[in-house]
Every structure is written in structure tokens, then in C-alpha cells.
Amino acid sequence: MPDTKTLKNALKDSLPDAIGDDAKAGEVVNAFYDALKEAVKGCDVVTLHGVGEFRVDPKGQRRELIFTPDRVLLDAMNEGSVGVGAESNV
């Protein structure tokens, strides 16, 4: 079974080394997530180069968040494997 780790927790674990401060790293991660949430609430397209694109697809009464991974991320995940879909619903 794969190790389940949220992106938020992964960032919180790795940023203190880069920033040098646990509290500041937490603030940066929270600010990132707040900005992402506000962007998708407004139906903006959010592109994280090397990661992928988040976009909102309205579906009647309900909106759907769609994530399309960047080719760089897919290649890193698959190390050249063939047959992986390039779009997923989040």
C-alpha cells in the first residue's frame, strides 16, 4: 500500500529546512492553500508549472474541480511508463 501524504503535509515537512523556521513554513503553506482555494472559488484556472493545472468545470447545480497533471510531474511519477491518463477529478 502506498504511503499517503497530503501535499500540505509534505510542504510543511520540507519547507522548514528551506526557510529555517517551522512557524514561517506553516504560514507559507497556509497562504498557498488559501490562495488556491480563493482562485478555484472564483473559477480561475490555477497553473503550477511542473505540477499541473486546476480548473473548475460547472456541472449544473454543482461545480467540479479538475486537475490535469503537468507532463513533468507525470514523467517523474512514471519514469517513462506508458498508458497513464493525463486528467483526473480532484
Express each pLDDT in 44-87 by its tens digit: 888 988 889 999 888 778 888 899 999 988 888 888 555 545 55
Residue 68: predicted pLDDT: 93
Answer yes or no: do 52 and 90 share one domain. yes
End-to-end CA distance of the chain: 20
pTM, to two decimals: 0.61
Number of structural domains, the chain? 2
What are the strands of the beta sheet with 62-69, ordered from one edge?
Answer: 46-48, 52-59, 62-69, 88-89
pLDDT digits (tens, 9 = 90+) for 10-22: 777 888 787 887 8
Answer yes or no: do 21 and 59 share one domain. no
Answer yes or no: do 2 and 18 share one domain. yes
Do residues 70 and 88 make contact, with C-beta atoms less than 8 angstroms apart? no
Answer yes or no: do 75 and 50 share one domain. yes
Residue-number span of the structural domain to which 51 is assigned: 45-90
Answer yes or no: do 59 and 73 share one domain. yes
Q: How long, in residues, is the chain?
A: 90
